[in-house]
Every structure is written in structure tokens, then in C-alpha cells.
Structure 1
Amino acid sequence: MKIKLMPFLTSDTVSGSVNGDVLTLNGDSYDFAPLKVGFRLPSSAIASDWFVDYVERRGQAIHLTLRLPVQADSPDKYRNPIEPIVIDARNGPITFPDTSAPTLPMVELPEAQEGK
């Protein structure tokens, strides 16, 4: 399954897995086995806001676009990618990019001394 990710500003999170032609997102399963080669299913026909554009079967592979949750402080490479982010998902859990804000290093401040 080829999953293209489109950045989407939201506080929601996504997790998923693939089992053959079945995609599970946040516990909801979507079975694309009936989709014939060369046919497209518009995202509006899928009862989920995670899908964007359409789902298509090219050869044996399902191709689709999902929203990638990002925050205002997510790394720029996820908020505004130069090239589309594509995951080649096989059977098992999907590893989505970690779009959380980078942690800043802790800086030790000197203790204040009386009289100075």
C-alpha cells in the first residue's frame, strides 16, 4: 500500500496498520479488496476525514493520500515538505513520521546570589 501524506494542522493523532488490502486507522478498518485495477474511489465516498483525494488500485498496490497531523511548531520538513512524503506500508503497523515539535535543550541558569 502506497500512502502519500498531506500535512494538516490538527491536534488529532493518527495510528494505523495494513493487512492485505485492509487499512486500519485509529481503530476503524477500510477494506479496499473490491477495488479493481485502474479504478478510483473518491475520498468523499469514504466515511473518514483522514482520506484526501482518492484511493486507487495500480496493479496489485493500493495508492491513497492521508492527512498527516501537524502542529504550528512541527518541523518544517513535515509542515511544508519539498517532496511528498510517501510510505510504502506492508502488512503490520504503519510508522507515521513523528511530527511533534523538537525538544529544546535545557539550559542551566546560574543561581542568583544576594547582593549581586
Structure 2
Amino acid sequence: MRINLSPQRRDDTLEVIKDGDMLVINGEPFDFSKMGEGDTLPGSAIRSAWFVGDIDKVGGELVLTLLLPNPWNYSQEQAFPAPLENIPDGPVVFPGPLPVTEDVSIKEAAQ
């Protein structure tokens, strides 16, 4: 599976668990196991705001794009994310934000 990421500044939480050709996104399952080689599932067929564009099956693997919510303290890796490839089953690991220091969190809280 190849997951491309489309970053967007927002405070949502994205939790994804991969199980073969199934993704569980924030507790909601999306099963793509019936897709065959060369198939394309239009993005409009998926009722979820987390998917961006179509989902393709190329070379035996799913290729899709997910929205990546970036917190206020987003990192360069979140702002310009590399595609996630060869993702093992289990929780999907996304790029993390910058650490929060006391000085930064006090300034942020004052705004």
C-alpha cells in the first residue's frame, strides 16, 4: 500500500489502522479487498472526508491519498510529507509535530 498525504492545517486527529487492503480510519472501516489489478475507485464513491481523490490498484498495491491534519506546531515532515510505502499491518505512523516547549505553549494560549 502507498499512502500519499495531503497536508492541511486543522486540529482533527487522524488514526489509521491497516489490515491488508482494509483501513480503519478513526474507527470507521474501509475495505478495498475487492479491488482488482488496474481498478480505480472514484473518490466520490467514498463517503469520508479523509480521502482525497481516487483510489487505484497498481502493481498489486493500493495507491491512495489521505488528508493529513497539521496542528499549530506542525513540522516540516508534516508540511511536506513523503509518501508512506510498504506499510505493515497495524497502526499507520504519520509524521509528528514539533515538540511543545513551555514558552511556545504559553504564547499560543495567550493568542
What is the TM-score when the length of structure 1 is the normalising length?
0.78
Structure-1 residue corresponding to 2:94: 96
Structure-1 residue corresponding to 2:69: 69
Structure-2 residue corresponding to 1:112: none
CA RMSD in angstroms comes to: 1.7
Q: Unpaired segments of 5 or more residues in structure 2?
A: 104-111
Greater strand fraction, Structure 1 or Structure 2: 1
Q: Unpaired segments of 5 or more residues in structure 1?
A: 107-116
Whether the 8 Å contact between 2:57 and 2:63 is mirrored in structure 1 is: yes
Whether the 8 Å contact between 1:74 and 1:102 is mirrored in structure 2 is: no
Greater helix fraction, Structure 1 or Structure 2: 2
Whether the 8 Å contact between 1:11 and 1:70 is mirrored in structure 2 is: yes
Structure 2 Cα separation of the partners of residues 76 and 59 of structure 1: 30
Which runs of structure 2 are paired with 1:1-116 in the superposition (5 Å)? Answer: 1-79=1-79, 81=80, 84-88=81-85, 89-99=87-97, 101-104=98-101
Partner SS, residue 52 of structure 2: strand
What does the per-residue CA deviation read over 1:60-108, in whole Å, with 9 as the maximum and x for residues that have no partner?
21110001111343123422x2xx5211222111111113x432376xx
Identity %: 34
Greater Rg by CA:
1
What is the TM-score when the length of structure 2 is the normalising length?
0.81
Moved over 3 A (4+): none
Whether the 8 Å contact between 1:37 and 1:58 is mirrored in structure 2 is: yes
Whether the 8 Å contact between 2:77 and 2:95 is mirrored in structure 1 is: no
